[in-house]
Amino acid sequence: MADWLTYSLSDFIPFAPSTYARLFQTYHAEIWPLWAVGLLVGLVTVWLLAGGRARWAAALLGICWLWTGWAFLIERYQTLNWAGLQMGLFYMAAGVVIAAAGLGAVGRKTRAGAALALLATLGHPLIVGADGLPWDGGGLVGTAPDPTALATLGLALATAGWRRFAIALPAALWCALGVLAAVGMERPALGGAAAAGIILFAVFSVWPAGRRGLG
C-alpha cells in the first residue's frame, strides 16, 4: 500500500501530450474528410438540441460513440495504451445505451444542452489550441471520445428521468477520465472543456427549467 502512495497520475499515462496530439493529427489525416464531417456533426447536434429534437441528437451521437470506440480507441489509441481495447468496447456499448435511451426523449433544458454541445464543438479545440497544442490535438466532436462525451452531457440535459441518468452516466465518467488523463499529462487544457462541462451539467441539472432562458 505504501508503494502505491508514491505514484502520481503521470505514472499511469504511457505517452507524452505531443504524442497524443500527433495521434489525433495522423488519425484525422487518415479519415479525411470524415473528421470535418464530424465537426459538422457537433454543430448539427447543437441545432437539434436547441430545437428540442433530442431523440435525433441521441441517434446521431450514438453513431458517433460507436464510430469513435472502434476507429479511434480500438484501432489507434490501443497503440499507445494497452487498455485501448477495453476502453473502446466500453465506448461502443455506451453508444448503444445512449441511442436507445434517447429514442423516447422529449426536449427539456434545450438551450442549456445546446450550450454544452457548443462548448464541446468549438470550445474544446479553442482551449486546446490556446495551450500551445494543435487546435485539433485533443480531437473533435464526432470522431474523438472526450468532446463527443461532452456533447452527450448536453443531450442528457435535454432529457429527464432514467433517460438522463442512462445518457449522463457514461458521458460524465468519460469526461472525468479525460480530465484525469489531462492532469496526468500535465496539460490540463486538454481536459479544460470536459471539466467545465461536468460543472455546468451539475449546475444546469438542478436549475429550474425555463429560468433565464435555460429551459
Give the pLDDT of residue 132.
Answer: 80
Give the pLDDT confidence of 122-157 residue by residue, as tens digits: 999 999 888 787 777 778 899 899 999 999 999 999
Per the domain annotation, does 202 fall within a domain? yes
Per the domain annotation, does 72 fall within a domain? yes
How far, in Å, CA of 207 to CA of 212, rounded? 10
Give the pLDDT confidence of 176-205 residue by residue, as tens digits: 999 998 888 888 888 899 999 999 999 998
Q: Could you list the residue range(s) of the whole structural domain that residue 59 is in? A: 15-208
How far, in Å, CA of 76 to CA of 63, rounded? 18
Top pLDDT among 96 and 103 is at 96
Per the domain annotation, does 120 fall within a domain? yes
Domain count of the fold of the chain = 1
- Region 4-15: what's the mean pLDDT? 52
Half-sphere exposure of residue 71: CA atoms within 13 angstroms, side-chain side: 21
- Residue whose entry in the numeric block shows the C-alpha cell 465537426: 39
How far, in Å, CA of 3 to CA of 120, rounded? 38
Q: Do residues 147 and 138 lie in contact, with contact meaning Cβ atoms separated by under 8 Å?
A: yes
Per the domain annotation, does 45 fall within a domain? yes
- Compute the C-alpha angle 145/37/86, nearest 5°: 25
Per the domain annotation, does 79 fall within a domain? yes
Kindly report the number of other CB atoms within 10 A of residue 198's CB atom: 21
Per the domain annotation, does 7 fall within a domain? no
How far, in Å, CA of 59 to CA of 206, rounded? 25
Q: Of all residues in the chain, what percent carry a pLDDT higher than 70? A: 88
How far, in Å, CA of 54 to CA of 105, rounded? 6
Indicate whether 211 pLDDT > 50: no
Q: Cell digits for 206?
A: 438542478
Q: Cell digits for 154?
A: 448536453
